[in-house]
Amino acid sequence: MIVTHAPDTDFFSAAMKAYQEKLLLKNYSASTIRTYKSWFGIFLHHFADQKPSSLTKKEIHQFLVDYRNRNHWSATVQNQFINAIKFFYEKVLGRPSEVYALTRAQKPLQLPSVFAEEEVKKILFASDNLKHRCILCLAYAGGLRVSEVVNLKIADIDSGRMVINIRQAKGKKDRQVMLSEKLLVLLREYFKEFKPNTWLFEGQWGGQYSARSIQEVIQQAKRKAGIKKKGSIHALRHSFATHLLESGTDLISIKELLGHNSLRTTAIYTHVSKKQLSKIQSPLDKLL
């Protein structure tokens, strides 16, 4: 059973302090630190009257089994929880990883939501707001994550080399993507009208444009365009990759443009590309 009484404050505070310090030293992102601390806090509360350094692999494993059975969590959540616990024992306490090699959940294969080229066109031109149109065009033209769009600065648009510099994106990695000529024309129009100071896209009262606002921008554009297919701003990134693949761009180039660590991650787009499917004739067409 999962215990709920208050933890020993000395054990809890000391473990959490050491945990956070190590996360910061490892230069983990703010979102990862929040996630890891949240899961590790739940773990500490469960073993409220025990020093975490004294726990055995069997106790940890049983805790994970009990917690999963009670909460019916997803594969992603289970793996996050395991990583958060393993971080303490392996990185903070310096213990060998094989001792805590816990069973991982298998992630289900979920195909990304992809808009057809004509659907993307309708979405991009649905908005009369120049800033909103620039945001949508940029997300699609470079295959950017929403966090990458909001973190772009004016100086990151390099019109001399026709590239967009993505700074410290997911995994603390810098990368470059191509700068579309038509996007550059649109951005110059936008710059003259809105005159941003630092960030490429700024809110009404200055400062970074929010990710939530961008998500609302695409939902509004979809409604105006009559697009009922599911998909957030990230679907434009999926569409970017899929359309490049269908036009003949190799997977390795797409991987680099997207900033993926593994080619296996990029290969998911082969499952949604119409390039191969279009070469196969349905048996129904032969019968009728």
Q: Identify the residue whose tokens are 């899961």.
A: 39
By the 8 A CB rule, do 246 and 273 touch?
A: yes
Give the span between the Cα atoms of 199 and 178, in whole angstroms.
19
Is 170 among the residues known to form the active site?
yes
Helix, strand, coil tally for the chain in percent (to 5): 60, 5, 35
Q: How far is CA 25 from the centre of its chain?
A: 23
Q: Give catalytic status of residue 260 as yes or no.
A: yes
Out of 145, 175, 238, 243, which one is annotated catalytic? 145
Query: Closest by alpha carbon to 245, among 236, 231, 255, 233?
Result: 255
Q: Which of 22, 61, 122, 234 is flagged as catalytic?
A: 234
Q: Is 100 annotated in the active site?
A: no
Q: Is 269 a catalytic residue?
A: yes
- Report the distance separating Cα 120 and Cα 136, nearest Å: 9
Q: Is 68 known to be catalytic?
A: no
Residue bearing tokens 């196969």: 280
Closest to 217 measured CA to CA, from 129, 103, 156: 129
234 is catalytic: yes
Q: Which of 222, 237, 243, 255 is catalytic?
A: 237
Contacting residues for 284 by C-beta, under 8 A, at least 6 apart: none
Q: Which residues are catalytic?
A: 145, 170, 234, 237, 260, 269
